[in-house]
Structure 1
Amino acid sequence: MTQTITAIDSFECPHGSGHMARCSTCAADAKCAGGDARKRWLNARAALSFAERFPRRYRDAHADHPTIVTWAEAYAADPVDLKSLLLVGPVGTGKTHQAYGAIRKAAACGRGITWQAVDFADFCAELRPSGKDPEGSLARYRDADLLLVDDLGAAKSSEWVEETTYRLINARYKDMRTTIFTTNLAPDRLASGLGDRIASRLVETCDLVPLLGSDRRRQA
Structure 2
Amino acid sequence: MSQIQQLQDIMKGLRLVETAKHLPHLIREAEQKDLSFTQFLLDVTSYEQTRREEKQLNNRLKWATFPFSKTLEEFNLKEQKSLSNKQLNRLKDLTWIEQLYNLILLGPPGVGKTHLAVGLGIEAINQGYKAIFTSMGDLIHNLKTEEITRKSKARMKRIREADLVIIDDLMFMAMDQQEANMFFHLINDLYNQSSIILTSNKAPKEWGELLGDQAITTAILDRILHRVEIIHLNEDSYRMKHRSTIFGEQSVSK
Q: State TM-score, norm by structure 2.
A: 0.62
Is the 8 Å Cα contact of residues 66 and 132 (structure 2) preserved in structure 1?
Answer: no
Q: Aligned equivalents of 2:118 and 2:230: distance in 1?
A: 17
What is the distance in 2 between the residues matched to 1:81 and 1:38? 29
Inter-partner Cα distance in structure 2 for 1:156 and 1:68: 32
Query: 1:135 deviation in Å?
Result: 4.2
Relative to structure 1, the CA distance from residue 24 to residue 93 in structure 2 (aligned partners, 3 Å threshold; closer, same or farther) is: farther
Kindly tell me: are residues 39 and 163 of structure 1, through their superposed partners in 2, closer, same or farther at Cα, counting changes over 3 Å? farther
Map of 2:196 onto structure 1: 179
Amino acid at match of 1:71: L
Aligned-residue CA RMSD (Å): 3.4
Matching residue within 5, 18, 30 for 1:25: 18
Q: Percent identity?
A: 21
Contact in 1 for aligned 2:103/2:231 (Cα 8 Å): yes
Amino acid across the alignment from 1:59: S
Shift of the 42–69 alpha-carbon distance from structure 1 to 2, 3 Å rule, reads: farther
Deviating beyond 6 angstroms after TM superposition, the runs of 4 or more aligned structure 1 residues are none
After superposition, the Cα gap between the structure-2 partners of 1:37 and 1:211, relative to the gap in structure 1 and judged at 3 Å, is: farther
CA contact (8 A) 2:97 2:163 kept: no
What residue is the counterpart of 1:7 in the other structure?
Answer: none
Structure 2: segments with no counterpart, 5+ residues: 1-7, 9-15, 21-40, 76-82, 212-216, 244-254
Q: Distance in 1 between matches of 2:62 and 2:143?
A: 26
Task: Quote the Cα distance in structure 1 between the aligned partners of 2:209 and 2:60.
Answer: 36
Aligned to 2:93: 73
Equivalent pair of 2:107/2:234 in contact (CA under 8 Å): yes
1:117 aligned partner, one-letter code: F
Matched, 1:125 2:135: no
Describe the shift of the 1:37–1:68 C-alpha distance in structure 2 as closer, same or farther (beyond 3 A).
farther
1:46 maps to 2:57: yes
Contact between 1:155 and 1:161, CA under 8 Å: does it hold in 2? no
Deviation at 1:186, TM superposition (A): 1.6
The answer as to whether partners of 1:68 and 1:102 remain within 8 angstroms in 2 is: no
Alignment of 1:75-90 (within 5 A): 75=95, 79-90=97-108
Using the TM superposition, give the Cα deviation of residue 38 of structure 1 relative to its aligned residue in structure 2, in angstroms: 4.4
What runs of 5+ residues in structure 1 fail to find an aligned partner? 1-14, 16-22
Report if aligned partners of 1:47, 1:108 keep a CA contact under 8 Å in 2.
no
